[in-house]
Amino acid sequence: MLQKKYFFIFLLILFYPLFSQGQIINETQTIEQLIEEIAASSDEELDYTTLFDDLNAFAQNPLNLNIATREELEKFQFLNDFQIEGILNYQKRAGEMQTIYELQYVSGFSREDIKRILPFVTVVPVNETQLPNFKKAFKYGSNTVFLRTQFITQEQAGYTPIDPFELETSPNSRFLGNRMKYYARYKFQYKNSISYGMTAEKDAGEEFFKGTQKRGFDFYSAHLKINNLWKFKTIVVGDFQAGFGQGLVLWSGLSSGKSSYVLNISKKYSGLKKYSSVDENKFMRGTGTTVRLGNFDITGFISQKKIDGNITLSDTSNQESFDETIVSSFQITGMHRTPGEIADRKTIRETIYGGNINYNFKRLKIGGTYVKTTFDAVLQKELKPYSIYAFQGKENEAYSVDYKAYLMNFNFFGEEAMSQNGAYALLNGVSVNLASQISLVALHRYYSPDYQSIYAVGFGESGTTANERGTYIGAEIHPYQRITVSTYYDAYQFPWLRSNANAPSGGNDFFVQTDFTARYNLFVSLRFKQETKPENTSFDIAGIKPLMLVTKKQIRFHINYGLSKILTLKNRVELAFYKKQDENAQTGYLVYQDISYHPTRLPLVLDFRYELFDAPYDARIYAYETDILYGYSIPGFSGRGMRTYLTLKYTLIDNYIDLWLRYALYHYTDKSTISSGITEINGPNSSEIKIQLRISF
C-alpha cells in the first residue's frame, strides 16, 4: 500500500511544472543527458571517460567554430552528419562568424540544437595556425589531480571472518583485500595540442601495498598525446584507443548505437585517441602516429600488453600444441580479489599492430584498415553448437575498405571487411535531409556467422560483429518549432544459433520519442520502445528447447523544469512489460523525483533523488544517476523497493579545489538478502559512499 501511495503522489506532481518559471540548465546537466541517451541503447557497462573528457575540455575551453575541423565537431556525440556538414559549409560560404547566434542560419540547427551546443563553442577571430609551443604549454596548460575512494557500507560475505581450515578448503570464498576502492588520476592539458597523464585504480577486495599487490594499485595507465606537430597530425605514446571506419575491423572505446539520437548511427571521430580510464581491457598499450601528407592521413600503431585468461593443461595428444599454453577464455572483469582471479591475471601476452590510410578530398573520404592480433597462447574454447564459428587459435587478422561521401543533401557511409578465414562483414548506409523539418537515415549490415575480428564493434543488435544481418530506418521530424519526433525501426536476423536461441532466428525493434521544449525552463519527453525476438524456452521437448517469441515494451514520461535560477526539478515515470509467448506477462515500474540545487551565493551543487521501483528481473529498468565527476552510475532496477541518493559538490577554493560527496542507498521490501555468493549482503539494505577531491593548478 505504501508503494502505491507514493506512486500516485508522483503522478499528481508530474503536471505541476507545466505552469512553472525557470532558467536554462547548465553544461553539466547537458553532459549527463547525453550520456543517459547513449547508455539507454545497451545493458552493457560502457566507459564514458573519453566523452566526459572531450565535453568538459570544450566547456572549459570552448571550440572556435571559425576554425573547427570535422574531427573536432565529431566529438560532440549529439551532432548528426548534417549539422557537422552545415557548420563546415557555413565556414566556406560565409567566412568567419561574427557572433555565436549565426548558428541559427546554419542548415540543420533548431533552437534546441543551438541551446545544446552553446556551452561548448565560441566565435573568435581566426589566428594563424602555429605549431605547439612547449614553453607556452607548460606555462599556461592546466594540471588536474583526482583522488577518490568509495565503499559499500554493509558487510559482504567476502569480508566476514572465516575458520582457517575452511578458508584452506575454499580459498576463493573470501576477498584478499579490504572493501575500499581507490582511484587516483593526474592529467595535463594544453588546448588541443598536448595531453599527458596517469591513472591508477584498486578495486574493492583487491590487496593494496601487500600480498600480491606490493606495488600498490592493481591497475596503472599512462599516456602522452601531441597533436599537429609539423606533418604529424597525432602522436600517442603509452595507453591509447584506436578506431577506424565503421568499426568492423577495429574500434576501441565508446561506440554509437541505437538511441534517441536516431540519425547518429554512423561512427565518428575515428583515429588515435588518448586513454585515461580504468577499463583494463578495451585499450592499447604502445605507440601510434598519424601523418598528414597532402590529402592523405597515414596511421600506424603497435600495442603489446598482458591480459587475463584461464589457462588449461596442454593437450598431450596433439604434438603441435604440446609446448603451447592453452587458454579456455579471456577474462574481462578486471577484478583480482581472490586467489582464483589472481591466477588468471596477466597470463597472456597480446600483440596488436596495424594501420589505416585515408584519402580526404572535399566531400569524399576513402580509407583502408589492416589489423593483426597475436597471442602467446592458444585460445581453445569449449565448443557448443552456437559457438562453433567463434575465434579459436593464436592469431587473427582483418582488413577493410571504408568510405564517406557527401552529395547534395545525401550522406553515404559504409565499410566492407574480411577476416583471415575469408568471412566478411558489410555495412552500408545513407542519410538524407529532405527538408529543414525532416531527415532520414537507412543502414544495412551483413555479418557472416564466421566473421572474426577481435576488436570489432559494428552497429547491430548483438554484442558481437558476427552472425547478423539487418536493416535500420530512422527519422527525425520537427512538425512544429518546439517539437521533435525521433523514431526508428530495426529488423534483423541471426543466420546461425545464439547462446539463448537454439535455431536461426530474427526480431525487430521499434522506437519513437516526442520531445517538447517550452521557453528555456521546461522540457517534456514521451518515449515508447518495443523489442521482439525469439529465445529458448525454459523446458525441453524431446531434448530440445524450442523457441518462443519474447516481447519487451517500455513507456517513459520524463520532465525537466526550472522553478528558479537555483532550483531544477526532474520527474520520471517508466513502465516495462515482458511477455514470453504462452506465458503470463511481467510488468514493472519506476518513478523518481530529482531536485537539483545550485545556489548563486554558495559554491555548492546539490543533487538529490528519491525513487520507487517494482519490477521483475526480465522487466528490469535502467536509470542514469547524477554522480561525482568521472563516476558513472546507471543501475538496473529489479525487485521491489526504494533508492535514494545525495550528490554534493563543494568548491573549497574557486578554480583550484573541489570536493564531491555521494551517498546512495537501496532498500528492498521483497528481499532479506542482496546479491549472492561472495558479494552477498545479509539484510534488505545496500548503501555506498563516494568521496572525491579535485585539485587544479
- Band the pLDDT of 26: cuts 50, 70, 90: low
The answer to whether residues 426 and 443 touch, using CB atoms and an 8 Å cutoff, is: no
- CA dist., res. 195 & res. 288, Å (int): 15
Q: Which residues fall within 8 angstroms of residue 595, CB to CB, at 6 or more apart?
A: 567, 568, 569, 606, 607, 608, 609
**How confident is the model over 363-398, as pLDDT tens digits?**
899 999 999 999 999 999 888 899 999 999 999 999
Residue 67 domain flag: yes
C-alpha cell at 436: 529543414
Q: Helix 49-60 crosses helix 27-39 at what angle (to 10 degrees)? A: 160
- Band the pLDDT of 542: cuts 50, 70, 90: low
Neighbours of 690 (CB within 10 A): 21
Reported as type and span, the H/E element at residue 134 is helix 134-140
- CA dist., res. 300 & res. 293, Å (int): 14
Residue 317 pLDDT > 60: no
Q: List phi, psi (to 5°) of 39.
A: -70, -25
Taking 3-state DSSP, the helix, strand and coil percentages for the chain, each rounded to the nearest 5, stand at: 15, 50, 35
C-alpha cell at 236: 600517442
- CA dist., res. 690 & res. 149, Å (int): 6
- Band the pLDDT of 131: cuts 50, 70, 90: low
Q: Which of 2-16, 192-206, 559-573 shows the lowest mean pLDDT across its residues?
A: 2-16
C-alpha cell at 69: 575541423
538 CB-contact burial (10 Å; exposed 0-12 / middle 13-18 / buried 19+): exposed
Burial pattern 595-611, b for ≥16 Cβ within 10 A else e, equals ebebeeeeeebbbebeb
DSSP state of 105: G
- CA dist., res. 490 & res. 511, Å (int): 9
The answer to whether residues 35 and 577 touch, using CB atoms and an 8 Å cutoff, is: no
Q: Which residues fall within 8 angstroms of residue 125, CB to CB, at 6 or more apart?
A: 66, 96
Q: Give the domain CATH number at 104.
A: 1.10.150
C-alpha cell at 672: 532479506
pTM: 0.90
Q: What's the average model confidence in pLDDT over 506-518?
A: 94
Closest CA to 242 of 226, 233, 257, 253: 253
DSSP SS3 for 33: helix
Number of domains in the chain: 1
- CA dist., res. 534 & res. 85, Å (int): 40
Higher-pLDDT residue of 328 and 537 is 328
The answer to whether residues 204 and 179 touch, using CB atoms and an 8 Å cutoff, is: yes
Q: List phi, psi (to 5°) of 540.
A: -100, 145
- CA dist., res. 20 & res. 487, Å (int): 29
Residue 84 domain flag: yes
**How confident is the model over 398-443, as pLDDT tens digits?**
999 999 999 988 999 999 999 999 999 999 999 999 988 899 999 9
What is the pLDDT at residue 27? Answer: 62
Q: Which residues fall within 8 angstroms of residue 111, CB to CB, at 6 or more apart?
A: 104, 481, 482, 517
DSSP SS3 for 101: helix
- CA dist., res. 181 & res. 27, Å (int): 29
Residue 429 domain flag: no
- Band the pLDDT of 21: cuts 50, 70, 90: very low
C-alpha cell at 351: 600483440
Residue 74 domain flag: yes
- CA dist., res. 89 & res. 65, Å (int): 12
What is the pLDDT at residue 136? Answer: 75
Residue 593 domain flag: no
Start-to-end Cα distance in the chain? 54
The answer to whether residues 377 and 394 touch, using CB atoms and an 8 Å cutoff, is: yes
The answer to whether residues 609 and 625 touch, using CB atoms and an 8 Å cutoff, is: yes
Q: Could you tell me how many helices (H) and strands (E) the chain has, helices first? A: 9, 32
Q: Which residues fall within 8 angstroms of residue 543, CB to CB, at 6 or more apart?
A: none
243 CB-contact burial (10 Å; exposed 0-12 / middle 13-18 / buried 19+): buried
**How confident is the model over 283-306, as pLDDT tens digits?**
999 999 999 999 999 999 999 999
Residue 161 domain flag: no
C-alpha cell at 432: 538524407
Q: Which residues fall within 8 angstroms of residue 49, CB to CB, at 6 or more apart?
A: 276, 277, 278, 630
Q: What's the average model confidence in pLDDT over 657-686?
A: 97
Residue 76 domain flag: yes
- Band the pLDDT of 99: cuts 50, 70, 90: confident
Give residue 34's domain range. Answer: 27-129
The answer to whether residues 250 and 42 touch, using CB atoms and an 8 Å cutoff, is: no
- CA dist., res. 312 & res. 327, Å (int): 5
Percent residues over pLDDT 70 in the chain: 91
Q: Which residues fall within 8 angstroms of residue 383, CB to CB, at 6 or more apart?
A: none
**How confident is the model over 163-184, as pLDDT tens digits?**
999 999 999 999 999 999 999 9
Q: Which of 215-219, 378-382, 554-558 shows the lowest mean pLDDT across its residues?
A: 378-382
Residue 683 pLDDT > 80: yes
Q: Which residues fall within 8 angstroms of residue 22, CB to CB, at 6 or more apart?
A: 520, 521, 522, 561, 562, 563, 564, 565, 567, 568
DSSP for 624-689 reads ----STT-----EE-EEEEEEEEEEEEEEETTTEEEEEEEEEEEESS-SEES-GGG-EESSEEEEE
- CA dist., res. 130 & res. 230, Å (int): 9
CA atoms within 13 A of residue 290's CA, in its CB half-sphere: 22
The answer to whether residues 59 and 76 touch, using CB atoms and an 8 Å cutoff, is: no
Residue 282 domain flag: no
**How confident is the model over 587-606, as pLDDT tens digits?**
999 999 999 999 988 999 99
The answer to whether residues 168 and 197 touch, using CB atoms and an 8 Å cutoff, is: no
- Band the pLDDT of 482: cuts 50, 70, 90: confident
The answer to whether residues 325 and 377 touch, using CB atoms and an 8 Å cutoff, is: yes
Neighbours of 176 (CB within 10 A): 21
